[in-house]
Amino acid sequence: MTASHLSREDLKALIRTVPDFPKPGIQFRDITTLIGHHQGMAASVHHLAELAGAAGAEKIAGMEARGFIFGAAVAVQLGIGFVPVRKPGKLPIDTIGIDYALEYGTDRLEMDPGAIMPGQRVVMVDDLIATGGTALASAELLRQAGAVLENALFVIDLPDLGGAARLREAGIEVNTLMEFEGD
């Protein structure tokens, strides 16, 4: 079976679940087993690239850090550019940024203000959507930079945490390769 023929259920079987990490009661969904499996990684990128292409992506944006893994690979497969959304202080130029709330405190995301042409159709790609805080902040930052951002793609959705629903409320269509309930 070739990589592009691995189904989403095949891919889901490649995700390792680590109980009680990072604290008791959490079922951590570890993608390292997926990205370490050549056919699984290739199939994941293939499925995501099909979705991004259908959405008319002109650029792919990925959030640090695992969004870089999947987003850059999708961009390469589609033959388009990749925009990294970074943690603060990682870019050697003047940046635009956004502060956003975490459960305890705040964080910041930054990007190159010239990475996107005004009106350019950008699709966000990341490994996992949980509460949606980072994805919503990234979407706001990309839109500030001039992106038309109507689609976000994730390998994993944890629907009980509500992140995908929050993105949809912000006018962003969400597609995922798999879901894990009860997390």
Classify burial at 24, counting beta carbons within 10 Å of its beta carbon; exposed 0-12, middle 13-18, buried 19 or more. exposed
Tell me the angle at which helices 66-78 and 38-54 cross, rounded to the nearest 10 degrees: 70
| DSSP per position, 115-179 | SS-TT-EEEEEEEEESS-HHHHHHHHHHHHTT-EEEEEEEEEE-GGG-HHHHHHHTT-EEEEEEE
Residue type, 40: G
Token couple for 97 = 């940024």
Is 173 an annotated catalytic residue?
A: no
Overall size of the chain counted in residues: 183
CA torsion angle for 60, 8, 2, 66 (degrees, to 10)?
Answer: 40
Q: Which of 8, 66, 108, 121 is catalytic?
A: 66
Residue 55 pLDDT: 98
pLDDT in tens, the chain (183 residues): 555 679 999 999 999 999 999 999 999 999 999 999 999 999 999 999 999 999 999 999 999 999 999 999 999 999 999 999 999 999 999 999 999 988 778 999 999 999 999 999 999 999 999 999 999 999 999 999 999 999 999 999 999 999 999 999 999 999 999 999 875
Q: How far apart (Å, rounded) are the C-alpha atoms in residues 169 and 72? A: 27
Residue 3 pLDDT: 59
DSSP-derived letter for residue 57 is -
Q: How far apart (Å, rounded) are the C-alpha atoms in residues 65 and 86? A: 8
Residue 80 pLDDT: 98
Architecture of domain 55-179: 3-Layer(aba) Sandwich (3.40)
Nearest CA to 129 among 166, 76, 93? 166
Residue 75 pLDDT: 98
Hey, is 60 helix, strand or coil? strand
Residue 174 pLDDT: 98
Is 66 an annotated catalytic residue?
A: yes
> Which pTM does this prediction carry?
0.95
DSSP-derived letter for residue 93 is S
Q: Are 154 and 176 in contact (CB under 8 A)?
A: yes
